[in-house]
Chain A
């Protein structure tokens, strides 16, 4: 398996623009997580899907952030409008599990810079 695939790897955009990050989880995994990592705040869970259904979105910073998982092989994280404080590395991870997390596999991340 190719592992968790994220795109784009790097994104530079201007404040106010829409940003869409994409993720393809490992085939057969039924849980998908979006994380954000910064030097100041470390690794933060944004949203967690199980069987394509959002289970916990309490980490989504505000209404500017939205995530979808239309099917088991694809998820998007959208930021609209983007702000400089959104600059971070965004990771997608997947696992096989129910409420208890199984072994977690991460993508390489999408590094977002908002000018």
Chain B
């Protein structure tokens, strides 16, 4: 059974730092992996989708990588800003089901 883990559950860093969020999954047989952000009281916003055949995807200051063999994905945020403060969730499409991590709550201190 696929399990998705995001560690740490919370992270606080000063503005301007580059940072990495982690997403681990137990079964490497995935179709794709998506990263989302959720602001308080809001819905989830899709950030990046990586197909199983891809190694990484980039959007602006965000870069997501995928290593299926090790069961890991990372979301790299460059030059963090207070507006990046949110909860970041990853979800893997495994056996035609989306399996969700519990999320990492990120706080960027001005």
Contact = CB atoms under 8 A, between A and B. Distances in A.
Interface residues of A, number: 18
Interface in A1-59: 4, 42-43, 45, 56
Contact of B43 (A45, A99, A103, A107): A107
Contacts of A104: 34, 36, 44, 46, 91, 98
Contacts of B31: 100-101
A102 B51 CA distance: 10
A99 B96 contact: yes
Interface string B78-106: 00000000000101010011101011000
Nearest to B46: A103
Interface string A54-80: 001000000000000000000000000
A106 B45 contact: yes
Contacts of A56: 97
A91 B98 contact: no
Contacts of A109: 42-43
Q: Chain A's interface: helix, strand, loop or mixed, by majority?
A: loop
Interface residues of B, number: 19
Contact of B42 (A45, A101, A108): A108
A106 B100 CA distance: 14
A112 to B, nearest CB: 14
B28 interface: no
Contacts of B63: none
Given A91-B43, A106-B44, A109-B43, A101 B32 contact: yes
Nearest to B91: A104
Nearest to B31: A100
B29 interface: no
A4 B83 CA distance: 23
A25 to B, nearest CB: 13
Given A42-B100, A42-B102, A103 B49 contact: yes
Interface of A: 4, 42-43, 45, 56, 91, 93, 99-109
